[in-house]
Amino acid sequence: MAEVVKYGAIKSSSFLKWLNKNADNLLMRKNKYVLHAVKTSVKEKIDVVQKDEKESGLRAILNFGHTLGHAIEAASNYKGILHGEAVSIGMVFAASMSVDINKLSIEEFNLLESTLRKLNLPTKVPKKLKSSQLKTYSF
């Protein structure tokens, strides 16, 4: 679900708001809601890829949350944390930095974090991981 939330965060605030409002329906795997989430995510990804087929700029937004996410996965030896969980944490971290540099409002940050939490996704780096481990895999 983190990858689905990512499309709301990077492309469509109305979709992110919809995910937040319908988190319970998604967790209950209600078909109508799951289909809408999947269709919207695929549509948004296709839109990005078609606009930047050669990965010359815009397509980089698809990596939102993945820098720290991949570091978390690697530092965990790819055990105990799923890709989506790592990306969820990475999105919160990246969004927090965006707030710090005034590229994202606190309201937008709160919506993202709230949506991830409502979908039972983690938002903080696991305590067992040290910042030195994450640095090793981030840079």
Could you read off the pLDDT of 20-47 as tens digits, one per residue?
Answer: 999 999 999 999 999 999 999 999 999 9
User: Does 138 score more than 80 pLDDT?
Assistant: no
Residue positions counted in the chain = 139
Domain boundaries, the chain: 2-138
Could you read off the pLDDT of 88-137 as tens digits, one per residue?
Answer: 999 999 999 999 999 999 999 999 999 999 999 999 999 888 888 888 88
> How many helices (H) and strands (E) would you count in the chain?
8, 0
pTM of the entire predicted model? 0.93
pLDDT at residue 139, rounded to an integer? 62
Distance CA 89, CA 69 (A): 7
CATH superfamily of 2-138: Dehydroquinate synthase-like - alpha domain (1.20.1090.10)
User: Does 4 score more than 70 pLDDT?
Assistant: yes
